[in-house]
Amino acid sequence: MDGPVNPDRGPGPGSGPGSERLARAAAEAFAARGFHGTSTRHVAAAAGMSPAALYVHHRSKEELLHALSLEGHRRVLALVREAASGADDPVAALGVLVERFVEHHATEHVSSRVVNYELAALDDDHRAEVAALRHEIEETVRAVVRRGVAAGLFVTDDPDLSAAALLSLGVDVSRWYRPGGRWTPAEVAAHYRGLALAMLGVSGRGPGPATARASGTRRPT
């Protein structure tokens, strides 16, 4: 029962507590079972709704994934743009960007895992829409790395490839991170900040804000 049931319903998510509950349930179900292994009945049951109620908000399971993917990528784009423009110094800007990007993917690891690793399930038009957002995210990070290279602060033979590597490392956090483990999201973010700057030949800049926030909060192994 995964096909369209309410074709007259406009695209995009509904609003209100029911829609938010549905989005959380869908993200958890897709993360646990994969998109193709999840039925609309699974999502509706997890949200405490009837299968018919799901179609009040979305015309199909694919449309629900599309809505989740758009929201997730728009949030990340806003995050990286704010970080990139927050400091004139490329080293400081990249450090903050990496910390926030990584902390987001750890804190929101369930939804981030879905919106990054289930893209192939989107139809062509929806996938292209999300791909455009991903391109803007990539360009924002590339621009910071290029600024650092131009200023003689970063060392890399290929700024664009280095930016891609940084993004890949951050996104992958959503795949392996689980709460209650050895590290908090802030600790992971601070460590990745150091890794990112070291990759670009920067050292001796000291700990970032996430390190300070994480101080004294290390969890036992």
Say how far apart CA 214 and CA 172 lie, in whole Å. Answer: 21
Helix ranges (H only) for the chain are 17-33, 40-47, 51-54, 61-84, 90-107, 109-117, 124-150, 159-176, 185-199, 209-214
**Amino acid (1-letter code) at residue 98:** V
Say how far apart CA 45 and CA 48 lie, in whole Å. Answer: 5
pLDDT at position 213: 41
Say how far apart CA 184 and CA 9 lie, in whole Å. Answer: 41
Say how far apart CA 125 and CA 144 lie, in whole Å. Answer: 30
Q: How far is CA 108 from CA 24, 28, 41, in A?
A: 11, 11, 24
Per-10-residue mean pLDDT of the chain, 221 residues long, equals 32 52 86 87 79 71 91 97 96 98 97 95 96 98 98 97 98 96 96 97 60 39 32
